[in-house]
Every structure is written in structure tokens, then in C-alpha cells.
Amino acid sequence: MSRLNVTHDPALRSWVESANAAGTDFPLQNLPFAAFRRARSAESFRGGVAIGDSVLDLGALHALGLFDGLAGEALALCAEPVLNEFMGAGPEASGALRGALSAALRSGSPLAARLRPLLIPQSAAEYRVAARVGDFTDFYASIHHATAVGRLFRPDSPLLPNYKWVPIAYHGRASSVRVSGESFARPHGQVMPAGGTRPELTATRRLDYELEVGVFVGRPNRLGSRVPLMEAEDHVFGLCLLNDWSARDVQAWEYQPLGPFLAKNFATTVSPWVVTLEALAPFRVPWVRPADEPPPLAYLDDPAQRREGALDIQLEVWLDTARMRAQRLAPQCLSHSSLRDSWWTVAQMLTHHTVNGCNLEPGDLIGSGTQSGPAASAAGSLLELTAGGRQPLALSDGETRTFLEDGDRVTLRGWCERAPYVRIGFGEAAATVLPALPS
């Protein structure tokens, strides 16, 4: 488990004044990583760290040769176009670099004058996915989401018998993972019309979002080896926001007997910033199961998980339509939930992923599955919020939605907040739905 250290001190302030502003996602206590370059440039991508409203250019910092030891070695890996090697170096390396950056960006740092020219406004930067994603696995770890969706299709038995025992997941499509800000076209797929007997190939009419947390794998494990639960977090680099877009009508027709396919592999949006597990240490909470629920099998249970295995990450979905933007109306918040309500923890998902000997590689992406809470307002998808499309959602400008329409932009936001520690955030994961391509 990540432990508290000087980088979490709520009294710390930065010489980057915007990092000290109330409510910023990126105070000195956060320091998340991304792969970036100046917008509209031909520069190579390289690592950056968020501080206030700026990006500290880690490639340029490496060229100055100011850090030595393990921090310097980790910084060299951040000069690469993607952060896979940095992620794979393990928490010791990322922790050393995080500590050195914290000291260098702190008020009174003797390095301030040399680092100030390396700051680039975030508004002047463009991003790519932080790592080259070799594999993407999406879990189904919210029992509230699984129950709500199950009730729509199986009112008498919403949860299948294995749900409370097995961390359910499916193998997603790594090649369609895109960074926040990239739009995508409404997908086509086979759909069975209501009351029909013959499917048709058509653009989805039931396009949905899924409010998720993404997990980037750090240290790898060998093929044929397992990662014990007590070691699982040594294999996690950090977390991001993730939206696994879904075509619900395509999904309903194709998902039996083998699960999601074309309904989910056309687009997945992630936030550019990856918050390290170390930065999240102040926001750990107990992982609990109701007393009348079965305990996990032994390989998925230990005292450390029960004591502080869950993370209290606040999650929100915001929607603005093309009409709302034309009228300059503010986006509307559709739901608010927390990762602390997840049935499985990050460590449990990773351990289960490897229990059969599956090898995970640095930069592999794990999705938490839609994170819904116990309240109706905490539903992480339109499928839940509109009861499968039967109860349209009223928007602030007079429009209604059952599922997404062309021009709709969905933005995920996330943050952690707990006194006396400083609030830290994840930035945004946003994308806009474009019209379907011609058949």
C-alpha cells in the first residue's frame, strides 16, 4: 500500500502560483504524468507533469541534468514519446521522481529560476494516450451498475450466480483507445428491430457512455506467474478517467453467448493525466462487504485490503449538446458517484487478471467498469438513468435524452477530497459524438 510522505503535506505550496489556487486539479500534492507536446507543432511527444495550469516539460528537464540517482534515471524514461518504460520501472522509480519534482516545484526551491522556462500552459499543449496500450481489459466491478442493468433484462434475477465471486471482465480493443478531446463517429452494427425476426445493419440508435476509472499497469509479471494480492499494487502505475462508449442496441443483439464485441470496441476515451497510486494515498478508505454477503475466495482477501484497499475518488458525468453550445449554456451534470462503492478493488482486479498466469505488460489498461452508486442519481450510464430508454432525461435547455445524439459532448471529471489533505483531480475525459459515416 502507498504510504503518506512529505509530498502529501497539506502545508506545501508551489512557486507556480496557479498550483495554489483553491479547487485546482493539479496542486503540488498531485503531480500526475502525461505524454504531450506543444499544440499544432511537429515536436516529438514526451513526458510532462501537471502543476497548476501548466505542464512541466520533463524532456527538457532531463536535458538540464539536474536530477541524479533513481530520480534521474526515471526522468530519462520520461523523455520518451510514451511512458511505458517509466511505468514499468515500478513504484520506487516513480516515487523517487515524484519526490524530486515535489522538492523542485516547492516554494523556495533553488531550482525555480531554471524550471520556470520549462512550463508550458496546458491550454497550449496537446496530448496522446500516456502509454502505448498493448492490451485493454474492462471489468464490471460495480454491483450497483450490474444490478440496475440486470433488472432491465432479468427482473427476477438481476445478478448472475457468479457475480459476487468472480471479478467479471471482457477483453477490449486497445487500438481504439483515444485521449480526451478526440471525437468519434456514431458506429454501425447489427441490430434486431423491436418485434423483428431479421437483423439489420444500421447506425446505433442507443449510443451510451460509461463512467469508469482506468488503471495503467506498471511493473510487469511473467507469463505463467501470478501476482499475489499483497503485491498487486506494486504492479499498478496510476489511475485515469475512462469512458468505454457503448452501442446498447448492438450489444443487446450480439452479447450472448460470448459478451461485448462491436458494441464496445469502436471508441474508448481516457484522460491524458495519470495520477499515481502514491498521490492517492491520503484518500484510501476501507474496502467493505455487507455482513450477509459471501467473503471473497482467499486469494482475493487480506487484512490490508479490508483496512484501506478502496479509493474514494469522486466521479461525475457532464453533458453539453450542440444546441446548448450554440446558446452558450453551461454543461449539465448527469450523475455523481464514487469508486469507493466498487465491489472489487484495483488490487483485486489485477490479482484476478493474473491468477491463471496471464502476463500483464507496462502500459496495459484496465477499466473498472461503469461506476454507479446506490442512489438513482449515481448511475454511471444513460441505460440506467433512463431505465433502458423508457424514461427520457430532461435537460436544462428543454431537450430530452434517452441515449446520445450527434453533437453531444460527454465529459467525465474526477477528484479526491478529504480534510486535512489538499484536493487533487484527474482533469477531464471528453469526446463529442459525430454523425455516422456513410454505410
Inter-CA distances, 385 with 38, 109, 308, 372, Å: 39, 49, 31, 10
Task: For residues 88 and 99, give the distance between their C-alpha atoms in angstroms, rounded to a whole number.
Answer: 18
The reply to whether 145 belongs to the active site is yes
Q: Which residues contact 273 (CB under 8 A, 6 or more apart)?
A: 25, 26, 32, 33, 34, 50, 130, 240, 426, 427
DSSP 228: -
Give 145's Cβ-side CA count (13 Å radius): 28
Residue with cell string 496471464: 358
First to last CA, the chain: 51
Cα angle for residues 55, 336, 168 (degrees, 5° grid): 90
Task: For residues 321 and 351, give the distance between their C-alpha atoms in angstroms, rounded to a whole number.
Answer: 40
E strand segments, 142-203: 169-171, 177-179, 184-185, 188-191, 200-203
Task: For residues 115 and 18, give the distance between their C-alpha atoms in angstroms, rounded to a whole number.
Answer: 15
E strand segments, 205-286: 207-208, 211-217, 236-244, 246-247, 268-270, 275-276, 284-285
Bridge partners of residue 127, in order along the sequence:
36
What stretches of 289-435 show up as alpha helix (H) in DSSP? 303-308, 322-326, 346-354, 382-385
Which secondary structure element, helix H or strand E, spans residue 100, and what is its range? helix 91-104
Our measurement of the distance from residue 184's CA atom to the centroid of its chain's CA atoms, rounded to an integer in Å, reads 18
3-state secondary structure of 102: helix
- Annotated active-site residue in 62, 145, 352, 353: 145
State the catalytic residues: 145
